[in-house]
Amino acid sequence: MAPIDNDSPVPDTGRHSLLGLLTRGPAQLGLLIVLLILWAVFTSLAPGFLSRFNLNSMGRSVAIDVVVGFAQMVVLATGGMNLSVGAIGVCCVMAAGYLMQMAGLPIPVAILLTLAFGGLLGALNGLAIVKTGVNSFIVTLASASLFSGGMLIFTKGVPLNGLPATFGAFGRSSIGPVPSLAIVALVIGATLYILFKHTVLGRQVLAVGANARTAEMSGIPVGRITILVHVLSGVLAGAAALMLTSRLSAAMPAVAGDDWLLPSFLAPVIGGTALAGGMVSVIGTVLGALLVATIRSGLLVLQVGNFWLQLFLGIFLLSAILFERYRTRLAIREQTRRA
């Protein structure tokens, strides 16, 4: 199976109908249509949905969800998964708080060390997977518990509220109408888009996800690539942790963790990244995170209980998986017919 860039359109014979646009059009077109419908519905039911306060809050939430989704996406690209994204995130939240408040390090130094710490935890995942040959699901499930437990033992679960004011101010600031955190997420997204679209390394990652054995036979260092994507996933989880810490102006052990697990899969999978590997969509991950934030914000404005939110998110994840499977089968069928 050849690696696929899912930001590209699927071959078409009937794109002029709505169903044709969804199944044969660009992979993100369906997401855009669903987003527009949801925005129209939520706006009609609750005019406060489009209030400046709600849009600013949603923009900051989306920015963090996007980077969390990216942390999962880079591992999914190889056909693996990282169930410890949230655990790495909460470890990095507390590390950032400790470095800034307890150690008194300058903000730039603390940021770099936090990102490096996230990368180190990711490297431990990657090394364990490569050296033991155990599936990434099992390894990262175990490491999630180890990382979270270690963090709680070290910090005793005590939050840190004395972070530098300038660090917290950044998380609440905006450049024009755009939250600063959203700009950070877009810069990270642009970097990943270039990585997967225009670099040899990106193509190697997708090749490993498409068929690891074939990739290894062609000279691609599969083990090294596996470790590398987990390091990158850890760094991205660390970046999301820094963004969350800045937004809250505090480092709290109760944030991130399990709360990041479902969103980390939702954003990339809804956006068109394949669970089996070999296919990613950076743009789709951004749209997927926006869809998740729209549902969350809309239900919050409508004062719907949190259990309904979990139900809706689960339905969307299942629907996205089934729809993408149908799209893929349709694309293969049309490619076979053309051949």
Q: Mean pLDDT for each 10-residue chunk of the chain (339 residues)? A: 50 49 61 86 86 87 95 96 96 96 95 98 97 95 95 90 93 91 97 95 95 92 97 98 94 83 89 86 92 86 77 78 72 70
Q: What is the pLDDT of residue 310?
A: 77
Domain extents in the chain: 52-338
Both tokens of 145, joined, read 């518990």
User: What is the distance between the alpha carbons of residues 198 and 192, in angstroms, rounded to a whole number?
Assistant: 10
Q: What is the pLDDT of residue 124?
A: 98
Q: What is the pLDDT of residue 179?
A: 93
Q: What is the pLDDT of residue 19?
A: 54
Q: What is the pLDDT of residue 10?
A: 44
Strand stretches in the chain, DSSP E: 4-5, 174-175, 178-179, 279-280
Q: What is the pLDDT of residue 9?
A: 47
- pTM of this structure: 0.88
| CB crowding 70-90: b at 16 or more within 10 Å, else e | bbbbbbbbbbbbbbbbbbbbb
Q: What is the pLDDT of residue 258?
A: 80
The top-level CATH class assigned to 52-338 is mainly alpha
Q: What is the pLDDT of residue 47?
A: 80
Taking Cα atoms as reference points, which of 75, 62, 65 lies closest to residue 233?
75
Spacing of C-alpha 95 from chain mean position: 21
